Structure 1
């Protein structure tokens, strides 16, 4: 379907993932839908990562500007600029980095009509935006839209349909492999929404640093009465977990799922889950035999401790 000219703001986050970022930018340049602006936020990467991206931008067909995050609110974008490279002064995590651009759009909603949060380690299909807009226009209650993810290294294998469900008893966010009418959450690597939805629900919750912020954000959207859906008329290819080490994943998943439960469940469900988590950590610690098992148990204990003490440790 042909769509009237409306601006889509595409948000990408780079943290020392310059090759992934450039490959993603190359795929975005092939979009059928041309009325977009890319907000590429760098999360305080090393100098070589910045130079790699700057070199690509200078040689590409993008019309780009480079500014600091501190100067973003005063920035007046020229009409011909379709990519803004925003240099953040710290590694603010997934939520904090993306929020540099999201908060700017909330404060300046007149500059865009739609927002697409997209991981930098993804490759898109040219019909991505058109398919998302087609789906959005089927129901005025739709808030978030996701798309199927296929493995980058195995493009015929489905990674996730783009949404999932929450096992609230065990605080597990379970990716779904088949389409449903609605989902509990949309996978954070690709979330599309109208600017009006973003204005109502606000930007990503920053306490988590990484993991569970997309589940929290989705829950917030559902609590505002919005439907979370996916479209199967397009898809992306995802290099899952390209920059995340396993123990970081364990730590943040342990800590953040406890925080999510404390925020969104009643006291009975929360304390039942807490007992379950404590017993699980104790069992894992007492049965650990080799060094890998002991490191795993140590990471679980650290995540549990920081969750209970509300420590926002970054590891």
Structure 2
């Protein structure tokens, strides 16, 4: 067993350089000694790439309530590569390895916005083929990490061979001025309702309590550590989802492959929830509504799927009323309806193809 297994950290950026450089500065202050930082720019339309390079060149300081800016590890060497070269594995690794872990950064520039799943997959494929890490960590660009977060994640992961995926306790970055309010301690899936509620949401954690690691259905995609051999076994993120529910799908695949998914509260990060696209953005509402149907269809039985269709029809009506009255957002209503309808119709088609006696009588 390696004392400090290699971890490749992948951060997806899309028009969010201010969040990204705060995330990077917190990462470069962690105590873990063996890691890579790979920023995948997902076809940003602002000046994200230039701003990230300015940060690395020490031309831009980062202010945060969670840490003090460290000028001593600057400049950070940026290894800038195109999406095509990343996919082909063209990279000067000998030169890269000459730099300390906190003084190097790999910047992959995707041609367009591929969404969360495909965008991250570019980075995952690159890491596995070029850097050969023991672990891959997916980290949202709108997070700030505790200096010991990675030590704790790896320590727990290494303690049990059955653990395939692990996540930390995730706090809200700012909850009415507080930084000790829990957003997630992993999550559970309620297949009949098409819901995946986070555990511990809105708990006030005055003592930053720690409990033994425990099994969950999924850990948040904002910070997900996976053993490389698990990724090679179950595959990459599901690109048909584009955005939202990808981590749920990924974790359920791991569980189905007899690997444990756990959360450890000894590791902690802070997350600016929904900062990249907003809580009521039509695109988010569409994929959130549609993708839950894909997840339940792929991972649960016919009974769950049947009940979900009924529940989602009711939920769609309620959601439309809420977004019409509360937000007066016609685009939100249309997006919600499109997502629900597409998901429901696809699942009805799936049920018809099952051709069981009970279903045949119901669907006549």
- Number of the residue aligned with 1:135: 156
- Number of the residue aligned with 2:165: 144
Aligned Cα root-mean-square deviation (Å): 2.3
Distance in structure 1 (CA, Å) of the matches to 2:34 and 2:159: 21
Structure 2 length as normaliser, TM-score? 0.78
Larger radius of gyration: 2
Of the three residues 280, 303, 311, the one matched with 1:276 is 311
**1:230 aligns to what SS in structure 2?**
strand
Distance in structure 1 (CA, Å) of the matches to 2:300 and 2:316: 21
| CA deviation map 1:159-201 (0-9, x unaligned) | 112x110011101011001866210011110111221112111
For 1:1-315, list aligned pairs within 5 A: 4-59=3-58, 60-72=74-86, 73-77=89-93, 78=95, 79-81=97-99, 82-108=104-130, 111-153=132-174, 154-161=178-185, 163-177=186-200, 181-245=214-278, 246=280, 247-282=282-317, 290=325, 292=328, 295-307=331-343
Distance in structure 2 (CA, Å) of the matches to 1:286 and 1:18: 36
**1:165 aligns to what SS in structure 2?**
coil
| CA deviation map 1:54-112 (0-9, x unaligned) | 1112223422210011101222322125311000001000111110011223444x621
Distance in structure 2 (CA, Å) of the matches to 1:189 and 1:277: 26
**1:65 aligns to what SS in structure 2?**
strand
Number of corresponding residues? 307
Distance in structure 2 (CA, Å) of the matches to 1:306 and 1:11: 31
Q: 1:123 to 1:274 in 2, by over 3 A?
A: same
**2:239 aligns to what SS in structure 1?**
coil
Kindly indicate whether the alpha-carbon contact (under 8 Å) linking 1:114 and 1:193 is maintained by their aligned counterparts in 2.
Answer: yes
Structure 1 length as normaliser, TM-score? 0.90
Give the unaligned 5+ runs of structure 1.
Answer: 311-315
Distance in structure 1 (CA, Å) of the matches to 2:105 and 2:44: 18
1:151 CA displacement: 1.5
1:294 CA displacement: 5.4
Kindly indicate whether the alpha-carbon contact (under 8 Å) linking 1:164 and 1:173 is maintained by their aligned counterparts in 2.
Answer: yes
Distance in structure 2 (CA, Å) of the matches to 1:157 and 1:209: 29
Kindly indicate whether the alpha-carbon contact (under 8 Å) linking 1:106 and 1:202 is maintained by their aligned counterparts in 2.
Answer: no
Distance in structure 1 (CA, Å) of the matches to 2:324 and 2:154: 53
- Number of the residue aligned with 2:360: none
